[in-house]
Structure 1
Amino acid sequence: MTNIELTYCPITVDDIDAALGFYRDALGLEVTRDVANGDHHWVTLRLPDQPSVEVVLSQPGGGRSPEDAEAIHRLVAKGMMPPIVFRSDDLDAIFEKVSASGAEVLQEPIDQPWGPRDCAFRDPAGNMVRINAAG
Structure 2
Amino acid sequence: MTMTSISRSQIYVLDQDEALDFYVGKLGLEVNTDQDLGFMRWLTVNVPGDPEHEILLEKPGPPALDPATAERVRELLTKGAMSGWLCLTTDDARKAFEDLVAKGVDVTDEPTERPYGIDFGIRDPFGNRIRIGQMNPRA
- Structure 1 length as normaliser, TM-score? 0.86
**Separation (CA, whole Å) in 2 of partners of 1:17 and 1:59:** 11
d(CA) in 2 for partners of 1:70, 1:41: 18
Instruction: Describe how 1:54-73 pairs up with structure 2 within 5 A.
Output: 54-63=54-63, 64-73=65-74
- Can you list the C-alpha shifts for 1:2-56, whole angstroms capped at 9, x where unaligned? 3511111111100111111111111111112111123522311121142210111
In 1: Cα distance, 2:3 partner to 2:86 partner: 24
Q: 1-side partners of 2:80 and 2:131: how far apart?
A: 13
Cα distance change on mapping 1:101 and 1:62 into 2, 3 Å: farther
CA RMSD, 1 decimal: 2.0
Higher RCO, Cα 8 Å, sep 6+: 1
- Identify the residue that residue 53 of structure 1 maps to in structure 2: 53
CA distance in 1, matches of 2:103, 2:26: 6
Which structure 2 residue ranges, 5 or more long, are not aligned?
A: none
Q: Percent identity?
A: 36
1:33 alignment counterpart: 33
Contact 1:27 1:94 in 2 (8 A): no
Aligned residues: 134
TM-score, length basis structure 2: 0.84
Contact 2:106 2:124 in 1 (8 A): yes
Tell me the equivalent position of 2:133: 132
Please name the residue that 1:117 is paired with. 118
Gaps of 5+ in 1: none
Q: Tell me which amino acid in the other structure corresponds to 2:97.
A: F
- Higher strand proportion, which one? 1
The match for 1:105 among 104, 107, 114 is: 107
CA deviation digits over 1:69-122, x for unaligned, max 9? 12222332233334211111111121122222222111111124x644211111
The change in CA–CA distance for 1:78 and 1:111 in structure 2 (over 3 A counts) is farther
Q: CA 1:97–1:60 in structure 2 vs 1: closer, same or farther (change >3 Å)?
A: same
Which range moved further: 52-61 or 70-79? 70-79
